[in-house]
Structure 1
Amino acid sequence: DCCASDWKEFDHFFFDNPQIADQYGFITVLNGKAVGLASWDPRKMPEYVEIGHNCIISSCKGHGYGRMQLREALQRIVKRGAKRIIVTTNARSVPARRMYEGAGFKICGKRRNESRTGFFGDYIDYEMML
């Protein structure tokens, strides 16, 4: 089973434990301005790590920063000894799907999105075996 957990629950865990931020996330900065965020959930290590966020601000999208940020996150996760990495995006987010597939993630499941958030489209779960 490679389905990701609830992102709200991950956010609560991350924000309730600020001491983990330096080990399990980072901010991407361009010319002194924060442009991105990557974070992952370490609670199931070494079995797997779940990427919770890999976000780039809208004004900086389309320049490869998301790929660079993902590459850095993957390097940090591998150094910590994870055996598998999972991530979820939505069917409508074609650039994110291309990025994850280009990085070597494989689709391992699809789920109906029943939420009423801005995250439109059914969920696609990906995994990368290390």
Structure 2
Amino acid sequence: MNLAFKKISEFDRGILYKLLLDGYSFDDRYRKCFEQDWIEFDNFFFDNLNIADKYGFITVLEDTPIGHISWDPRNMPEYVEIGHNCIASKYKGRGYGKRQLSEAIDRIMKYENLQKIIVGTNSNLIAPHNYESVGFQLVQRRDNNGDSSFSGDYLEYEITL
């Protein structure tokens, strides 16, 4: 199987939203809680393709978009924060998420003088295992008492460079 990482600008508006919707389809509470944020994220990147192509990509398997990842460089050189990191449901559990994350880390590590890469996630997702598998270390755990409490505690990870 041929896995590739392509520019977001090669796809139509809505693809980021659709992949997030699919990736979290295992529990409709995610859609209810985060759908508006996903739409705004998709719109921001497609309104700013120069940012999208520089700080994110879409993972493609045999011409089918199966996931995407993005990162925020605005706090460099102190840190870069990984944002959305999503794989479509049909393709989960096959190592594509780890390969996508590893590709993003390789790209981020090319920034000069960068001190660390950070990411936040929730404890009730598979994501913590994925982040730990590529070298992230848990640095903080906080209670989640908000509308998204079903997703578990907030976890903050980092890789110190």
Find the counterpart in structure 2 of residue 90 from structure 1. Answer: 122
Find the counterpart in structure 1 of residue 141 from structure 2. Answer: 110
In 2, Cα distance between equivalents of 1:41 and 1:120: 23
Say which structure is richer in helix. 2
Point out where structure 1 has 5 or more consecutive residues left out of the alignment. 1-6
Q: 5 Å matches for 1:35-114?
A: 35-81=66-112, 82-93=114-125, 95-114=126-145
Q: CA deviation at 1:14?
A: 4.8
- Superposition misfits of 4+ residues, deviation over 6 angstroms: none
In 2, Cα distance between equivalents of 1:117 and 1:12: 21
Rg larger for: 2
Q: Is the 8 A contact 1:90 1:119 kept in 2?
A: no
The normalised TM-score by structure 2 is 0.68
Find the counterpart in structure 2 of residue 24 from structure 1. Answer: 55
Superposition RMSD in Å: 2.4
Point out where structure 2 has 5 or more consecutive residues left out of the alignment. 1-33
Q: Which moved more, 1:110-119 or 1:54-63?
A: 110-119
Q: CA deviation at 1:64?
A: 0.1
Q: CA deviation at 1:88?
A: 1.1
In 2, Cα distance between equivalents of 1:99 and 1:68: 10
Q: CA deviation at 1:63?
A: 0.2
Aligned-residue sequence identity (percent) comes to 52
Q: CA deviation at 1:45?
A: 1.1
In 2, Cα distance between equivalents of 1:48 and 1:73: 14
